[in-house]
Chains A and B, each alone.
Chain A
Amino acid sequence: MTELFIFKAALRDFLRLRRVFAWLIVGLVIFAIAKIFLYVWPSQDLTQSYSMLSSLLIFRVLPLASAIFSSAVIGQEIEQKTIVYLLTRPIERWKLVLLRLLASALAVAIISTATMTLVSAAVYGNPLSNTQFTRDLIAIIIGSLAYGSLFVFVTLLLNKAAMVVCLLFAFAWETAVPSMPGSMSALSVSSYLSAIAERPSATGGTGFFGNMANALGVNAISSQTGWIVSVLMIAFFTGAAMWWFSSFEFLPREDAE
């Protein structure tokens, strides 16, 4: 089964130790930050603490990992010039981009879930005691696909500047837009993921982390809307990426210049 092989080969590539090692460090740093937070601002309400840390840490790692992994779906193949081997195989281009996108989304989901498990362990001791775990896991999976499809399309569209644009979106846009007045939060993927996760409002926190969480704003989007918008977004950007990759020329970096 060629399709399954392409998916597994891409996933193996995305989860190579050299790639994942940096994310392991990130996970451990986040675990340490969560522990420090709980030590400095001890709270009886663990759900509130977890929710705050989840907004601040887990759902920041998700778009960041997505931006980096999505650039490897096609952009990295162009960069390292190996794209030529893929484009001269008897396989439809749309399948190639779809399968690699799915593999990168799974890799991002695995990394984000590992981060969530570490934060849950820091807050609850036993990660399985976290009642929010399943809902966050679902939001992470949807988020991996939503960010992944968006970023892959951007990398196909912009090629060279794509990584910068994706990182700016992951950091600046996704942090600033949800806290903007009015309906601006509707322009952030993160808002819909929070709605899917049905995360309790993070407002009311105190201290540095509390203020940061408050700055992310109150999510007024319903879970149903979150699902509908996310699914439509995934379908649209995945379809657009598949069409774009099938219709246009993609040359190794040097040749394209």
Chain B
Amino acid sequence: MIELINASKWYGQVIGLNDVTCRVEPGVTALLGMNGAGKSTMMKLVTGQVRPTTGQVLVNGEDPFANPNVFRKLGYCPEIDNFYEWQTGRQFVYGMARYSGFTHTEATNRTQVVLDEVGMADRCDRKIAGYSKGMRQRIKLAQAMLNDPDAILLDEPLNGLDPVGRRELMDLLKILADRGKSILVSSHILFEVEQMTRSILLLHRGRLMAAGDLRVIRELIDKYPHRVRIETPEPREVAKRLVALPYVLSVQFDRDGLELQTREPSKFYNEIPALVLDENIPLTSFSSPDNNLESIFRYLVNG
């Protein structure tokens, strides 16, 4: 569907994307990275706004640069927050539908459908100039969905959405992904992305640092010990038992319990029920600060 083969993009002396090779398959894929990591450059390459300096970018096997064939099956929700402010949301989406080749009747119907889908049907007849950030995001998403694309690219779509809006957007993306669409979502709000998908592409300074399933990536980072936080009323007693385990590297105490580090988290988690039941270790709760995207991101970037 979407494929980058050794794609690099230079802006004069500045590199935007550096030798990236990856594929975006059906389902939701998160494109992660800090500001300036190259997320928007990658989006621009895939949406044919810019050409790769070296390498190749293919969408359905075709070069997307100025290629109408590609845009018939590709939707793009840009990061920019600019519109024709004097238009209403409906006028804007309808206009984009006509630009996409729909007749008046088709465009009118399709506009209504996508406005319903993004939850803007009741507010779309107001001028865009008066829209909140969240409403603008929804309108941008609506125009990206007009031609029922096989692939949708969303550049920071969660920006400005309230919690309800975010939840609705995530649900909508899941529905679209279930329909077999390839969805690439760029974001730096890691915990939200984590709720959306486990498939990630991680960019840092233009380079693709990691790609694939979040858990698999985490397991690959064996250079860093995995942290487990345990809450217990008897931290000293528990620490004594746990530190005797061969795969526990260290234990640190804090106010409500302790935090240990292990190189083999799976083994440790498998052992916990036995420890609690057989050895009567009093555990109130346990959790892992490393079982989230934030920590993986931190390890990869700072590692």
Which positions in A face B, CB cutoff 8 Å? 2, 5-6, 9, 13, 16, 18, 80-82, 84-93, 246-247, 249-252, 255
Query: In the complex, what residue of chain B is closest to A87 when comparing beta carbons?
Result: B49
Q: How far is the CA of A80 from the CA of B87 in the complex (A)?
A: 14
Complex interface: chain B residues within 8 A of A87 (CB): 47-49, 66
Q: Cβ of B51 and Cβ of A90 under 8 Å apart? A: no
Across the interface, B71 reaches (CB within 8 A) one of A80, A81, A82, A88, namely: A88
Across the interface, B98 reaches (CB within 8 A) one of A2, A13, A92, A250, namely: A2
B69 interfacial contact with A, CB 8 Å? yes
Q: Cβ of A84 and Cβ of B49 under 8 Å apart? A: yes
Q: How far is the CA of A91 from the CA of B69 in the complex (A)?
A: 9
Name the interface residues of B56-107: CB closer than 8 Å to any CB of A: 66, 68-69, 71-72, 74, 76, 78, 80, 82-84, 86, 95-96, 98-101
Q: Cβ of B98 and Cβ of A9 under 8 Å apart? A: yes
Across the interface, B86 reaches (CB within 8 A) one of A16, A93, A246, namely: A16
Across the interface, B40 reaches (CB within 8 A) one of A80, A89, A246, A255, namely: A255
Q: How far is the CA of A246 from the CA of B84 in the complex (A)?
A: 23
Across the interface, B99 reaches (CB within 8 A) one of A2, A18, A81, A255, namely: A2
Query: In the complex, what residue of chain B is closest to A86 when comparing beta carbons?
Result: B99
Q: How far is the CA of A85 from the CA of B92 in the complex (A)?
A: 10
Q: Cβ of B51 and Cβ of A249 under 8 Å apart? A: yes
B136 interfacial contact with A, CB 8 Å? no
Which positions in B face A, CB cutoff 8 Å? 40, 44, 47-51, 66, 68-69, 71-72, 74, 76, 78, 80, 82-84, 86, 95-96, 98-101, 143, 147
Q: Cβ of B82 and Cβ of A82 under 8 Å apart? A: yes
Complex interface: chain A residues within 8 A of B72 (CB): 90
Complex interface: chain B residues within 8 A of A85 (CB): 78, 96, 99, 143
Q: Cβ of A90 and Cβ of B82 under 8 Å apart? A: no
Complex interface: chain A residues within 8 A of B40 (CB): 255
Min C-beta distance of B228 to chain A, whole Å: 44
Across the interface, B100 reaches (CB within 8 A) one of A82, A89, A251, namely: A89
Complex interface: chain B residues within 8 A of A80 (CB): 82
Complex interface: chain A residues within 8 A of B96 (CB): 85, 89
Known: A85-B143, A87-B49. A93 touches B76 (CB 8 A): no
Q: Cβ of A88 and Cβ of B82 under 8 Å apart? A: no
Q: Cβ of A90 and Cβ of B71 under 8 Å apart? A: yes
* 3 tightest A-B CB contacts, nearest first: A90-B71, A81-B82, A90-B68
Complex interface: chain A residues within 8 A of B95 (CB): 9
Query: In the complex, what residue of chain B is closest to A13 when comparing beta carbons?
Result: B84
Q: Cβ of A91 and Cβ of B80 under 8 Å apart? A: no
Across the interface, A81 reaches (CB within 8 A) one of B68, B76, B80, B101, namely: B80
Known: A6-B99, A89-B100, A249-B51. A84 touches B78 (CB 8 A): yes
Min C-beta distance of A46 to chain B, whole Å: 42
Known: A9-B95, A80-B82. A91 touches B143 (CB 8 A): no
Q: How far is the CA of A93 from the CA of B67 in the complex (A)?
A: 9
Complex interface: chain A residues within 8 A of B99 (CB): 2, 5-6, 85-86, 89, 91
Q: How far is the CA of A255 from the CA of B80 in the complex (A)?
A: 10
Complex interface: chain B residues within 8 A of A6 (CB): 98-99
